[in-house]
Structure 1
Amino acid sequence: MSSHCHIGKTISSHWRPQALGLPFLSPYLQSLGSNFRHGANYATLASTVLLPNTSLFVTGISPFSLAIQLNQMKDFKARVIELQSHGMDHKTLPLPDVFGKSLYTFDIGQNDFTSNLAAIGISGVQQYLPKVASQIVATIKELYDDRARTFLVSNLAPIGCFPAFLTELPHNATDLDGSGCMISYNNAVAAYNFMLNQSLDNVRKLLPNATLIYVDTHAVKLELFQHPAAHGFKHGTKACCGTGGGAHNFNPQVFCGNSKVINGSTLTASACPNPQDYVSWDGIHLTEAANMALVHAILGGSYFYPSFPLGKLCHLHTIG
């Protein structure tokens, strides 16, 4: 990996490139004002690893699955090489040789897990989760064959702690731990994460020149949800931006920032005045403060498996 730490993102939601001295990465599909000099972000809202063309997937899932994002990356690389071969030095594009030096990050699979939990339950979802891990591994192999060498793969979050899922997924009081998180759903996530880690461990033996790192973001998020006060937060399983109040302040009929007339009354999901006190922003995503805590923990290096000295390979910058 080069010392300037170019990031070629496959998909990501939580990485903060400012810590590497880089600006936010431009979305690949953003046609105006994009600058891909330091990398590209292929992430889309509600994307999945597996193709969303089966009856397993509910509406609202992005058509840009991991396979589509991989093809977008390949197309982007081909265009960069073609332009450079014609002597066109674009200041907003990376140099062609940077693709082999880039850091490829994966943070995907959450929607494969959650999109049908309410309909088919944990056991139903677990039947196709091995395919999710296999597809991630296959994508890494394909990128490796295309000269990519450094990969960071994040595991799945403890969905049993998120206000949205605590509100929508069936459970009873006996399924809640001391912090109010759903035990059965978190156990299912932990089982998938173990399988993903084992899959990555197996593929390392096949890719001798690769640096393939499993990033345990799950452990950090679980710690924030279960012990918010220990990290400067006041609310773990309650959303900042929502409506309805209650233990979780989440209403699936009115998402953050929206208003809707329900039974003759107008409900508005608005932000709380003190988001820095919350782990969850809208019931589904973390707040900026929680993301900051997550990134600081990750960049510390203790959540990389195997150990990956990011602080030695890159000049890390203070983020605040």
Structure 2
Amino acid sequence: MKPNRLWSYSMVLLGAMLLFMVAKTECKKCAFKAIFNFGDSNTDTGGFWAAFPAQSPPHGMTYFKKPVGRATDGRVIVDFLAQAIGLPFLSPYLQSIGSDYRQGANFATLASTVRLPQTSLFVTGVSPFSLDIQLRQMKEFKAKVDELPHKGKTSLPSPDIFGKSLYTFYIGQNDFTGNLARLGISGVKEFLPQVVSQIASTIKEIYALGGRTFWVLNLAPIGCYPAFLVELPHNTSDIDQFGCLISYNNAVVDYNNMLKTTLAKTRKELADANVVYVDTHAVLLELFQHPTSHGLRYGTKGCCGYGGGAYNFNQQLYCGNSKQVNGKTVTAKACKDPQNYVSWDGIHATDAANKLTTYAILNGSYFDPPFSLHHYCNIQPIG
């Protein structure tokens, strides 16, 4: 279901909330004992900052009240998903202190790509933890779980956990956006089949490790994000009635269709597995286009940034950073009401937008093929 009307989308959210309320009275436990997540900054819960400590306020301000490794003011989608099925927030695989992996691990890191970053296609500055590296980390993790004794207190899961887990993927945005300014849409499109192929092959390798349920979240409408509205070359004729970039959003749709087709083929090859395409694009596009219909106020304007104006984004001064301008120190500060914004820092969604997106996903209307998480789990309310 791709809601083109506000009524249909609002009913999806309402239905999800009612299901959560009913779930409070049930005792059924979740069939998924863990979540293993692969991705980039959209679902990073601290991996990048564990490897390269540097994160500063105001990140994390809304929910955690301090920086905790999320590229937003609060929680990311995988946080809400874990809450919904009764699991704790996922510990980053790269975080050595305070982590608990008994119910999963998060391999996602900020700036990660699907394709290996050292290839000539990609510019420097991306994370070294590509999807291939994240898969290797997963294999090493499983090997350690299988070989180490499980007696007494441990932070590791039982060896049989891998067949009882939900495997989620939210990655590919950096492959898509990293070279748009340099190569253009047609240049980037040339390499996207390799991106979806890599995602499919990763699923097959995890299947060989015992995984049976896979969710792959598609790409967001990048043409609506403040950062790309500022950074990407375009003409005014390329702006639609909602303030989004038409050509770039169309290119994302083409990629998402390619991903959907590839996953359908993978599904046929893994007959006893759930390989699910998750249309987060449709949800986020609705939020960007009609923020006020969902309790928000601003679509294509970032909360945390510098410069004000329509986008409040300056590519020379990212959220929380400071620099000298005309002899004066200026800082990219957060707004006072992030709960009213879709975009946190011009690139990532706010806690509020991630929450609305998760509500819609859990309702089940954005899965291909249809997938009822309520059939597997007693869905818990998320706050």
Q: CA deviation at 1:91?
A: 3.0
Identify which of 287, 298, 301 aligns with 2:361. Answer: 298
Q: TM-score, normalised by structure 1?
A: 0.97
Identify which of 128, 131, 143 aligns with 2:191. Answer: 128
Cα distance in structure 1, aligned partners of 2:214 and 2:376: 14
Q: CA deviation at 1:89?
A: 4.3
Gap runs ≥5 in structure 1: none
What are the within-5 Å matches in structure 2 for residues 139-158 of structure 1?
139-158=202-221
Cα distance in structure 2, aligned partners of 1:4 and 1:206: 23
Identify which of 267, 272, 277 aligns with 2:335. Answer: 272
Q: Contact 1:243/1:270 (CA < 8 Å) preserved in 2?
A: yes
Cα distance in structure 1, aligned partners of 2:115 and 2:183: 17
Q: CA deviation at 1:90?
A: 4.3
Q: Contact 2:113/2:171 (CA < 8 Å) preserved in 1?
A: yes
Letter in 2 for 1:145: A
Q: Contact 1:2/1:102 (CA < 8 Å) preserved in 2?
A: no
Q: CA deviation at 1:2?
A: 5.9
Q: Contact 1:258/1:269 (CA < 8 Å) preserved in 2?
A: yes
CA separation of 1:151/1:89 partners in 2, compared to 1, >3 Å: closer, same or farther? Answer: farther
Cα distance in structure 1, aligned partners of 2:324 and 2:369: 51
Q: CA deviation at 1:127?
A: 0.5
CA separation of 1:290/1:2 partners in 2, compared to 1, >3 Å: closer, same or farther? Answer: closer
Deviations 1:49-104 (A, max 9, x none): 000012321222001110100010000001011113xx534431111001011110
Cα distance in structure 2, aligned partners of 1:53 and 1:8: 25
Using CA pairs below 8 Å that are at least 6 residues apart, which structure has the higher relative contact order?
Answer: 2
Cα distance in structure 2, aligned partners of 1:204 and 1:89: 39
Q: CA deviation at 1:147?
A: 1.8
CA RMSD after TM alignment: 1.3
Partner of 1:190: 253
Cα distance in structure 1, aligned partners of 2:32 and 2:192: 36
Out of 141-150 and 176-185, give the one that drifted further.
141-150
Identify which of 250, 262, 265 aligns with 2:325. Answer: 262
Letter in 1 for 2:315: P
What are the within-5 Å matches in structure 2 for residues 155-234 of structure 1?
155-234=218-297
Cα distance in structure 2, aligned partners of 1:22 and 1:96: 18
What are the within-5 Å matches in structure 2 for residues 6-45 of structure 1?
6-11=34-39, 13=43, 14-15=77-78, 16=80, 17-45=82-110
Task: Find the residue that maps to 2:105 and give its secondary structure.
Answer: coil
Identity over aligned residues, as a percent? 63
Q: CA deviation at 1:274?
A: 0.8
Out of 255-264 and 227-236, give the one that drifted further.
255-264
Cα distance in structure 1, aligned partners of 2:278 and 2:152: 36
Task: Find the residue that maps to 1:23 and give its secondary structure.
Answer: coil
Deviations 1:145-166 (A, max 9, x none): 2221110001001000000000
Cα distance in structure 1, aligned partners of 2:256 and 2:228: 19
Gap runs ≥5 in structure 2: 1-28, 44-76
Q: Contact 2:30/2:378 (CA < 8 Å) preserved in 1?
A: no
Task: Find the residue that maps to 1:204 and give its secondary structure.
Answer: helix
CA separation of 1:136/1:4 partners in 2, compared to 1, >3 Å: closer, same or farther? Answer: closer
Cα distance in structure 1, aligned partners of 2:154 and 2:107: 20
Cα distance in structure 2, aligned partners of 1:304 and 1:269: 37
Task: Find the residue that maps to 2:114 and give its secondary structure.
Answer: coil
Q: Contact 1:10/1:73 (CA < 8 Å) preserved in 2?
A: no
Cα distance in structure 2, aligned partners of 1:90 and 1:191: 49
Aligned residues: 318
Task: Find the residue that maps to 1:7 and give its secondary structure.
Answer: strand
Cα distance in structure 2, aligned partners of 1:70 and 1:157: 23
What are the within-5 Å matches in structure 2 for residues 75-94 of structure 1?
75-84=140-149, 87-94=150-157
Deviations 1:258-286 (A, max 9, x none): 11113333221000011111110000001
